[in-house]
Amino acid sequence: MRFRLTAAAALLLFVLGLIVGSPAHAQTSKGILAGVARDESGAVIPNATLTATNQDTGETRTTATLKDGAYRIEALTAGPYTVTASQSGFKSFKASDVSVRTSVVTSLDVTFSVGGGNETVTVEANASTGINTENGQLAGVIGSRQLSTLPIFSLNPIEVATTVPGVQIVSQGAGFSNGVNIEVNGARPRANNFLLDGQEINDVGIGGQAFQPTIPDIFQSFAVITNSASAEYGRAGGAVVNLVTKSGTNDFHGTVFERYAGSGLNSLDGNLRQGIIHGTKPAGYIPPQRRASISTPTASPPAAPLSRTSSSPLARCSSSATTAR
């Protein structure tokens, strides 16, 4: 008996030691920038210095390429970056507007040209449409522009996840899960993992979103990982949806919005347009013919003709002019 207790205690201490002694890998909302540095012939360039600068905040991260020319910068705040690279015997490399996205790997390869170090080759890059060459993960990222321009009727940004291939909304009234019920690649809505800035917001009872902020303006972007999510996420066999809130920049900014939920802008179906109403008419219903009469301007009565005996100077002038003719 004593041997069993001692063995159990030793095993517990061993497990705790592994947990405390190993680095923690949390579910992250940051992005990763990775690629390979090569020359124009395709040969890899080791030991090149590479710097990524956030264009919104000025945050700078610097690294060096490895022996195989590869580089990797992790935990980058999502946003536009300027990437510069240099190596002796080559022209400096500069790429502007490199879009690092939330929770996914952004691929950017660096190509050096032979020349002096005081020369710079500048390219306009948009890595948001690049192919992920780092792993087999499939994901779609909904950016701030889509969140601000696409209609979100429920004010829950997960509604816009249907723009990602393989995602569809299923019946909201069927009780599949909490919040917006999305089905990804045929998996049940309860199989998804929902995160807010990397922290779980899952409903532990029926799945879905237990926490549902209905202010779309607070979100910078969100990622929908539809297949082969990395081990840091886990938990679910469906999609991983990671909402990321906006962070500060070097410019003062803010937004104000108003939501109009009245019926004044509602569309009418064919029956209402034709005035075909069966049963009790809804409150405020106006038949089509009455609607037309209401919008018709009222005509003014015709003006009475001026009398020749009027004492008005205008009348006297008109009378005199008539008599003279």
pTM over 0.85: no
Residue 30 three-state SS: coil
Least confident of 22-36, 107-121, 155-169, 195-209: 22-36
| Residue range 241-257: mean pLDDT, rounded | 80
Each domain of the chain, given as residue ranges in start order, spans: 31-129, 138-245
- 138-245: CATH homologous superfamily? TonB-dependent receptor, plug domain (2.170.130.10)
CB 110 within 8 A of CB 50: yes
The dihedral built from the CA positions of residue 158, 159, 162 and 163, taken in this order, carries a sign that is: negative
- 31-129: CATH homologous superfamily? Carboxypeptidase-like, regulatory domain (2.60.40.1120)
Q: Which two tokens stand for residue 109?
A: 């390869």
Q: What is the pLDDT of residues 270-320, one digit of tens each?
A: 666 666 666 676 666 665 544 333 333 334 444 444 444 444 444 444 344
- β-partners of residue 195 are 200, 242
* Alpha-carbon separation of residue 141 from 31, 79, 106, 136, 226 (angstroms): 11, 12, 11, 16, 11
Q: Which two tokens stand for residue 270?
A: 């064919």
Q: What is the pLDDT of residues 45-87, one digit of tens each?
A: 999 999 999 998 899 999 999 999 999 999 898 889 999 999 9
DSSP code at position 135: -
